[in-house]
Structure 1
C-alpha cells in the first residue's frame, strides 16, 4: 500500500480502463451525424472538428451546414454513442487486462470521462465493469461541451458525490492532468503504448505504465 493516504481513486475511461475508440470509427460517426441533418457534403475539416469541438467551432460548422448547433450536436452524440456501442459489442473496444488490479485497491472508485454518459453506461453494462460507486460521462448537450475536461466540473461533482477529500485521478491526457490541478487533487498519468512520446504541460504527481502501479500509490 502507498503512503499518500488517498481516500478514493477516480479514473478517466478511454485509454485508461478501455482501449480508445478508433479514430476512423469516430470520423464515420461524424459523417453520419452531418448527413442526418444536412444535405451539404461535409469536409474532412468539419468531420475532424466535430470529434472534439469547442462551442464556437461547433456553431461554425452548424452555420456552414445551415442547421442549429443544438440539432447538430444531438445528431453527433447519437451517432457517436451508436458507433461506440457497436465497437464495444463487437469486442473491438475492450477493457485493458490490468483493470483486474482495481479489485485490490480497497478504496472507493469512480469514473469521470469526456465520453458521453450513455457510452460509459454501455461500457459498464456490456463489459461487466463493476466496483464503481460513481460515474460521470459528458451530458449530450452543448452545455456538456463547456463542462468537459479540462474543466473540473464533472471531476468535482464526482468528488462531492463520493464524499471524499483526497482522491487520486488517473488519466492519459493533458486535459486529465489539468482538470485534476483545477480540482486541487493529485493526478497519476498512465503512459500506455498510445502515449509513448506524449508530452504534458506540467508534471503530474505520479506517472505509471500500468494500472498495477496504483497498488504502490494507494
Structure 2
C-alpha cells in the first residue's frame, strides 16, 4: 500500500470498472454472503429453533456496471452488452468451481421420488452426483458460448444454455450438505443473468 500510486494517470474504462466489481464479488461477497447466512441460520436454530429455508434471500445485489449512461459518453450499447456477457461468464466460472466441489461431495444414493424421476435409470445409482455432472456440462457449454460471444463470434445458443437462476437451483430444497447450502445461498442474490442479455 505504501508504494501504491494514488493518482491514476489513465481514466479507467467502463469494462475496467466492471472487472473491479467482479473482483469484489469473487474475493469478498461470494464467500461473505453465504457465511453470513450460515451464521444467521445457526443463531436462529440455536435460540429460536427455526431453520432458514435454503431459498431464503435477505440480500440481493444489482449493478449499474457497464450500464451507467447518466451523461457518460463512454458507456455505449456495445459496452453494456460486453459487460453483461462478461458478468455472465464470471458468474458461470464461479458456479462451475462450486459445482465441481458438489460433484465430489454428493455420493449419497437415497433421494426423493421427484429427483429419481428427474435423473431416470441412468442416474439412479448416484442421483445427486449425476444431476451435478449434468449441471456442470451445461455450465461449461454456457461458458464456452459466452467466451465465443465475447470474442465477437456469432454462434447459435447451445442446447442446455443456462439463462435463469431456477435452472441452476435444480432440486436444492432437498439437499442439506454445507457446501450445497453455501452455493444455494449465493445463487439468488447473484444470478447468472439477472438483467436480460441480448443473444
TM-score, length of structure 2 as denominator length: 0.30
Higher Cα Rg, which structure? 2
Structure number with the higher strand fraction is 1
TM-score, length of structure 1 as denominator length: 0.28
Structure number with the higher helix fraction is 2
